[in-house]
Structure 1
Amino acid sequence: MAKLWETLNRVGLNTFFFLLVGMIILAKAFPEWGSEASPLPLKAITGIGISVIFFFYGVKLSPEKLKQGLSNWKLHILVQSTTFLIFPLVVLLLYAVWGDETNLFWIGTFYLAALPSTVSSSVVMVSIAGGNLPAAIFNASISSMVGIFITPLWMDLMLPETAVDFDLTDTIIKLSFQVLVPVILGLFVHKYLVKYVNKHQTTLKNFDQAIILLIIFTAFAESFSENMFDGHTAGQLILLGVLMLVFFLLMMGLMYLLSKALKFSREDMITVIFCGSKKSLVQGAVMGRVMFPDPVVFGVMLLPLMVYHALQLMVGSAIAQKLGDVKSSGQKQ
């Protein structure tokens, strides 16, 4: 149990997780703080903060390591196909059978399926489980940049069937200026600032989390102020959690079977399982803020992603620890 808690701390399921829950409670208690009428310029702060986050993300990327990672193309194709193709298709299949276009939870689930993979927790879990770490870094990094274009395309296909307003061209332009341009600028100054970034990793991580918490707070505050959660019972929210858990395990199992079919090594299989099944709360919050300008709608749509995020950390950490223990015991023998 001590090892499991240590692993959970390493991937961030500690203070930040409880602060996420706290932001929802705070938004429920004081929705006016996050509304358009708030005297606090929270939207302006988060807008600037988002660009700063991705600038330093670009600084952390190593151009040399990205070049080195190009060789294992079969693994990369599978991970990116899983992230941006298989995930959305699975949800579309389920939507065709049980979907309800008036239910924002369904649209939120599709949004989570169309998002890029998370970087930090994917890399940490691959490391713990004994997978191919360079391939994990490469895929998580590429996924974040490719998602700027693919996620809006998927949502454009989905949203014409709904009442959510969405402008594809405007969204890609905004995301490019707010996310892609800062990443590219960060890459250009990598060799000058990488030592500074490595030295202040904890401070930058705290800054990243603070901006995400502000996005979560404002989104839910607007939703609560407009009574968007009225009519959703506690039972429905519990059911959402169960369905997200089943979805996560389903995708991990699918990654395992595809890796087996392609006869990947154990290390590559672990990388596929963890990089292919993760979804990024950071980019989900950032991109959603641009794609869904109505914060009332955005708050409800974020809920499936937040539930999935918590589950992928808890369940993924336990699985990664188990795989790491199996590898360690095998090496001792």
Structure 2
Amino acid sequence: MPRSLLSLFEPFVLALLGTVVLASLLPVRGSLVPLADGITTAAIVLLFFLHGAKLSREEIVKGASNWRLHLAVFLTTFALFPLLGLGLVSLPFVTGPTAAGLLFLTLLPSTVQSSIAFTAVARGNVAAAVCSASFSNLIGIVVTPALVALMMSGLAGQSGVSIEAVETIALQLLLPFVSGHLLRPWIGGFVGRHRTLVSSVDRGSILLVVYTAFSAAVVEGLWSRVSGETLALILLLCTLLLVVVLAVTWLLGRMMGLPREDAIVLLFCGSKKSLASGVPMAGVLFPAAQVGAILLPVMLFHQIQLIACAVIARRMAGAAGGEPPQAGPAIDTTLAD
């Protein structure tokens, strides 16, 4: 089976779907909710600690000089995407939690692992991809909540970002991320030697947050409000959004006169949205009962971007001549983000 099709059956994709089914059939209720919330908070802290620990200063310094490329990725992620999001939610048939979820999706930072992996497969500038994707995730911890406060206030009952949410972001997201990165000189070796273990913890944290989020939403009647037509609409709009951004980023790379290796970075880093960042951020920024519905577009977009970018990366590698190189041990090819 072609590797581009394997993304459909990637274990994490199946685990994610299974988690949603489990939460729909056996949601957390009653006295177990505080316990689940406490475990979820610990998982979020661990998730961002590991993200910080995996951030390589050496690769960032190596790729940081290409400021035009990084600025283009930043503007695509935090300007073009949000503008397209505003266009989507202005459509008369996009309302309620669907509108909130689609707009929240467009405010998220780029992915890290999958952006780097696809850049490597397509024979792009891996060092620049590491820098752009890592910078996007780092600054997204601040920029995404700010954009939520600016653009989502009043949408589908959202009241913006409270002072309590800002404090939670600082304690649960930013502080663990910075702590993990500062401790990298001591734990970086362990992280590098145990990539499978770290990836499992990373993915497990995301699945736990998804389970608790959808549990709360199911208890509040999520599936009585989300129909098959709504899911089809979200799928269609997410696909349309990705197609537009992929086309714009590739054309922008050509207009800027970027070398092919850098244009590939802009294509893959500029078109992605991070599930790994979006899930815990949604849990912090929105009421528990709303998180599940808001995450639906994020989860669907995640699957679409993996499948589409896998196909594109393989085609680019073929156009460059021969089979793409296998990702070496320095490149984390897990696609959980």
Whether the aligned pair in 2 keeps the contact of 1:4 and 1:318 (CA below 8 Å) is yes
2:107 matched to which residue of 1?
A: 114
Whether the aligned pair in 1 keeps the contact of 2:133 and 2:269 (CA below 8 Å) is yes
1:166 matched to which residue of 2?
A: 160
Whether the aligned pair in 2 keeps the contact of 1:95 and 1:106 (CA below 8 Å) is yes
**RMSD, aligned CA:** 2.0
CA distance in 2, matches of 1:177, 1:266: 40
1:142 matched to which residue of 2?
A: 135
Match of 1:75 among 69, 76, 84: 69
1:58 matched to which residue of 2?
A: 52
CA distance in 2, matches of 1:299, 1:14: 22
CA distance in 2, matches of 1:187, 1:210: 21
Match of 1:227 among 221, 225, 234: 221
- SS of equivalent residue, structure 1 residue 41: helix
Q: Does 1:26 align with 2:19?
A: no
CA distance in 2, matches of 1:243, 1:20: 21
CA distance in 2, matches of 1:16, 1:135: 26
Match of 1:152 among 131, 145, 170: 145
Which aligned pairs between 1:1-333 and structure 2 lie closer than 5 A? Answer: 1-5=1-5, 8=7, 14-31=10-27, 34-38=28-32, 41-98=35-92, 100=94, 102-162=95-155, 163-292=157-286, 294-329=287-322
Normalized against structure 1, the TM-score is what? 0.91
Cα shift at 1:303: 0.1
- SS of equivalent residue, structure 1 residue 248: helix
Cα shift at 1:168: 4.2
Task: Work out the number of aligned pairs and report it.
Answer: 323
Unaligned runs of 5+ in 2: 325-337
CA distance in 1, matches of 2:16, 2:311: 21
Unaligned runs of 5+ in 1: none
Cα shift at 1:91: 1.4
More displaced stretch, 166-175 vs 207-216: 166-175
CA distance in 1, matches of 2:174, 2:211: 25
Cα shift at 1:233: 2.2
1:308–1:142 Cα change, 3 Å: same
User: Which has a greater percent of helix?
Assistant: 1
Cα shift at 1:78: 0.2
1:211–1:3 Cα change, 3 Å: closer
Cα shift at 1:330: 10
More displaced stretch, 182-191 vs 110-119: 182-191
Question: What is the one-letter code of the residue matched to 1:245?
Answer: T
Question: What is the one-letter code of the residue matched to 2:168?
Answer: K
CA distance in 1, matches of 2:33, 2:164: 28
- SS of equivalent residue, structure 2 residue 140: helix
- SS of equivalent residue, structure 2 residue 257: coil
1:207-258 Cα shifts (integer Å, max 9, x gaps): 1111111111111111111113314321221222122111111110010111
Whether the aligned pair in 2 keeps the contact of 1:99 and 1:106 (CA below 8 Å) is no
1:23–1:250 Cα change, 3 Å: same
1:133–1:168 Cα change, 3 Å: farther
